[in-house]
Amino acid sequence: MARIVQKFGGTSVGDLDRIRNVARRVKSEVDAGNEVAVVVSAMSGTTNKLVEWARDIGPLHDAREYDTIVATGEQVTVGLLAIALQNIGVDARSWLGWQIPFKTDDVHGAARIEEIQAEEIKTRLAAGQVAVIAGFQGIGPDGRITTLGRGGSDTSAVAMAAALDADRCDIYTDVDGVYTTDPRIMPKARKLSQITFEEMLEMASAGAKVLQTRSVAMAMRHNVHLQVRSSFNEEPGTLVVDEEQIMENQKISGIAYSNDEAKVTLAGLPDKPGIAAEIFGMLADAHVNVDMIVQTAATSGSQTDITFSLGALDLPKAESLLTEARDRLGFESLQSDSNVAKVSIVGTAMRSQPGIAKQMFEVLAQKGINLQVISTSEIKISVLIESAYTELAVRALHDAFTLETA
Amino acid sequence: MARIVQKFGGTSVGDLDRIRNVARRVKSEVDAGNEVAVVVSAMSGTTNKLVEWARDIGPLHDAREYDTIVATGEQVTVGLLAIALQNIGVDARSWLGWQIPFKTDDVHGAARIEEIQAEEIKTRLAAGQVAVIAGFQGIGPDGRITTLGRGGSDTSAVAMAAALDADRCDIYTDVDGVYTTDPRIMPKARKLSQITFEEMLEMASAGAKVLQTRSVAMAMRHNVHLQVRSSFNEEPGTLVVDEEQIMENQKISGIAYSNDEAKVTLAGLPDKPGIAAEIFGMLADAHVNVDMIVQTAATSGSQTDITFSLGALDLPKAESLLTEARDRLGFESLQSDSNVAKVSIVGTAMRSQPGIAKQMFEVLAQKGINLQVISTSEIKISVLIESAYTELAVRALHDAFTLETA
């Protein structure tokens, strides 16, 4: 007997038939003698519609009211799933964020979890009742509804698993696991049976959409045993595990990409100490997330160029902030390009095999792909390239690193 | 300066433009120096969709989950209206039933209000903030969401007005007041500037849909000053007042009708004491609401007939209950007819003018309309007729009692 948290996303609960299907998946864990808590998202499309209403009603935006509105999506799903479970003979009740309570700070729209009081739910799980928990939502210090931000249901599930001391947290989604890369652009992509937390974290932040970065970080911190699997078939999925649990990795684990990137180059900056801190401090204050940064050596003695990448959505804000500050920063020109993509290879194998970066650059060079920016971490190498080459780069790297075979 | 509760129904908040329109109606009361609490329903159509989902997901029905699901409709509206108000410079926040708290008993789907803790809202109203309150919903003794049943938002508004000691409770709707009868079938119908609580109560229970019976009863009990008015124009509406506030009524006030009626006749019943109590006790236990009852004098010495009317929706249940109990009750035959309508005239003038019933029956007889059942209260006379004659009866009575002129 184990205590399990199951999480089902928006497409898995997209209509009444799919909710009944989820109920059957829950029942099979109950029938196997397990205690089950289920965390669900809003029915797919619902959150988008609610967000659109909350935006369209007026330009002034109260994030507390926004949260009150969008949290209804999950509230509907938990009620429907609880009824669906009862209808197939499973004792179940719904739990809203404020009922648990699932306490967060007061940063509405992107709240951080502070404390989950799970004693009552533990008691009911032990008595055989399934807890159907609304993902994505909590209650702030002033008693108002908060939300965790997009993809927050993964985080809710992991946090509930930690609070419940669950033996496993299964993330059910519309893909059946974590792949070596996106199977839509590389048919030879292979499902991984295991991936380490660190790799999953790098894959998620490099653009792989299967799990939210924040939920992986939380799982790693609380040592929650994560599994990514399909809600539409019974195949085993991908286990996210500690590095010690994997014998030895000879290869990189996966290739991630992101097309939602942009690049900015500030040319002719005065080469003085503190100039980078000033630029990136200003952008950070405006909540512009800068990703990769390259500063070229000063060629004419007193001047330097800085190139950085950022999310394409943030480009207009960054451009206007930098243009306003041009006199103060003293750069000669600003060039921007949103026609770029980031391609990353991820794997703990890099730690022991220093030749991997060289191999990556050679493969891309052979295909005539120009590298605009490079950044590396201990287990990841990312390059910024012209976006038209994304698929070519992913396929070439997948072949070169023989990812189609385990 | 006054403290006002405004209530807007589903069609008044049916889309974003209408919600902005409601915000302007609220603002005009705020600009006039008033303290304002607004109670809103779900956007029209929303509740029906949620109810349909909750029914379709499975035949077993958990009313606690049903309430969790359907209460989201009002939750969306309060968030949107609060944002709309802020966007036109009005300080506002939304309040859900559990946040107030608006305490009810645990009869989910048809909960009764037990206590409203309105101190915090009073403080904020005094500080100039508009309270945007979700109608229809409350919180039960076990911390779960309850709903008051269909039309419950009127009741929420009146209850809030009582709890807030409001000077006025304005019910905004898609008609601009209470009419002498339904203007759709009698174009000469006249809007009443005033109506007494008792008359409004009789009109509502006789089928006039403008206010929910329960909300009128609560307003009468707590002496809440009700006004019914249009959310689409600025015309004064209809005030619901104490009888003492109306100088003298020479006429009946209105004509109501209901087509959702059915009639049952049990013929050849043994004429023994307690037989009526047995029949109607059994129906009441099954929550079948019986309206009008006629027992004909025993003709053959030991037998009697009983005819009663009930809501058409309850007819199948009543028929099967009575048929099952036939041997015990001992009747000879059961006839039913759902092709009937109830037409009622209402007015406190009846107290002082005994000839009104006679006049009503004469008017209907002149038109060749057969009266199947008659029932009277102190200020109402209702007749059950063949439903094809409904419009004819309403128009003839409206003319005969000269209701088109004040």
pLDDT in tens, B263-278: 999 999 988 888 888 9
Top residue of A83, A121, A129 to mutate, by most chain B CBs within 10 Å, is A83
Q: Which two tokens stand for residue A335?
A: 């060039």
Residues B277, B130, single domain; the answer is no
> What SS3 state is found at B347?
coil
Judging contacts by C-beta atoms under 8 Å, the chain B residues touching residue A82 are: 62, 65, 68
Task: List phi, psi (to 5°) of A353.
Answer: -125, 90
Of all residues in chain B, the one with the smallest CA distance to A79 is: B65
Q: Give the whole-angstrom CA distance, residue A12 versus residue A22.
A: 7
Complex ipTM: 0.83
Contact criterion met (CB below 8 Å) for A326 and A264? no
Q: Does some domain include residue B148?
A: yes
Residue B191 inside a domain? The answer is no
The reported pLDDT for the residue numbered B300 is 61
CATH number of the domain bearing residue A387: 3.30.2130.10
Q: Given pLDDT bands bounded at 50, 70 and 90, which one contains residue A251?
A: confident
User: How far apart are the C-alpha atoms of B235 and B222, rounded to whole Å?
Assistant: 26
CATH number of the domain within which A16 lies? 3.40.1160.10
| Residue A90 within any structural domain of the chain | yes
Give CA–CA dist B44/B76, Å, rounded: 12
Is A21's Cβ below 8 Å from some Cβ in B? Answer: no
CB contact under 8 A, B83 and A57: yes
Statement to judge: residues A48 and A150 lie in one domain: yes
Closest A-chain CA to B80: A54
Is residue A93 in some structural domain? yes
Q: Which two tokens stand for residue B366?
A: 């002149």
Same domain, B262 and B166: no
- Pair (A8, A110) in one structural domain: yes
Q: Measured between CB atoms, does A20 come within 8 Å of chain B?
A: yes
Query: B162 with B261, same domain?
Result: no
Closest CA of chain B from A99, distance in Å: 7
- B69 interfacial to chain A (CB closer than 8 Å): yes
Q: So what's the pLDDT on residue B189?
A: 93
Chain B CB within 8 Å of residue A174 CB? no
Query: What pLDDT score was predicted for residue B352?
Result: 82
- Same domain flag for B169 and B259: no
Closest among B31, B25, B27, B35 to B4, alpha carbons compared: B35
C-alpha span between B114 and A253 (Å, rounded): 61
Rounded to whole angstroms, how far apart are CA atoms B203 and B182? 11
pLDDT digits (tens, 9 = 90+) for A351-398: 888 789 899 999 999 999 999 999 888 899 999 999 999 999 999 999
Q: Does A109 touch chain B (CB under 8 A)?
A: no
Number of domains in chain B: 2
- Structure confidence at residue B254 (pLDDT): 93
Answer yes or no: is A196 within a domain.
no
| Min Cα separation B66/chain A (Å) | 7
Please check whether residues A382 and A268 belong to one and the same domain.
Answer: yes
Domain with B272 in it: 255-400
CA distance B203 to B201: 5
What is residue B327's predicted lDDT score, i.e. its pLDDT? 92
Same domain, A296 and A163: no
Give the chain A residue whose CA is nearest to the CA of B68: A79
pTM of the model: 0.85
Domain stops at, among B116, B143, B174: B174
Q: Are residues B152 and B39 in the same domain?
A: yes
| Percent of chain A clearing pLDDT 70 (strictly above) | 98
Q: DSSP string spanning B368-403?
A: TPPP-EEEEETTEEEEEEEGGGHHHHHHHHHHHTTT
Q: Is residue B181 part of a domain?
A: no
Q: For residue B245, tell me if it sits in a domain.
A: no
Tracing tokens 């023989």 back to the chain, one arrives at A402
Domain assignment of residue A194, yes or no: no
Residue B57 CB contacts under 8 Å (≥ 6 apart), including other chains: A16, A19, A20, A80, A83, A84, A87
Among candidate residues A337, A274, A345, A278, the one with its CA nearest the CA of residue A309: A337
Same domain, residue pair B26 and B146: yes
Rounded CA separation B198/B216 (Å): 9
Mean pLDDT, range A165-191, rounded to an integer: 92
Token pair for residue B372?
Answer: 């199947």
Non-local CB neighbours of B259 within 8 Å, separated by 6+ positions: B341, B387, B390
The predicted-structure confidence for B149-167, as pLDDT tens digits, reads as follows: 877 999 999 999 999 999 9
What is the pLDDT, as a whole number, of residue A207? Answer: 80
Asked whether residue B51 falls in the same domain as residue B165, the answer is yes
Residue numbers in A near B94 (CB within 8 A): 65, 68
Last residue of a domain, one of A174, A190, A219: A174
Beta strands in A252-321 (DSSP E): 254-270, 290-296, 303-311
- For chain B, which ranges sit under pLDDT 70? 247-249, 297-301
**Whether B136 and B278 share a structural domain:** no
Residue A300 pLDDT level (bands cut at 50, 70, 90) = low
- Interchain contact A19–B (C-beta under 8 A): yes
Contacts with B19 from chain A: Cβ below 8 Å: 57
* Facing residue for A58 by CB, picked from B58, B83, B145: B83
- Is the separation of the CB atoms in B192 and B178 below 8 Å? yes
Task: Please name the residue that has the structure tokens 């101190």.
Answer: B119
Measured CA to CA in angstroms, residue B221 lies from A319, B101, B164, B166 at distances of: 64, 22, 15, 14
Distances (CA, A) of B342 to A340, A398, B133, B179: 73, 78, 36, 18
pLDDT for res B298: 62
pLDDT band at A57 (very low <50, low <70, confident <90, very high): very high
Q: Does B217 touch chain A (CB under 8 A)?
A: no
pLDDT at B248: 64
Tokens of B360: 């009503």
First to last CA, chain B: 32
pLDDT of residue A249: 66
Q: Which of B143, B174, B205 is the last residue of a domain?
A: B174
Note whether B65 contacts A99, CB cutoff 8 Å. Answer: no
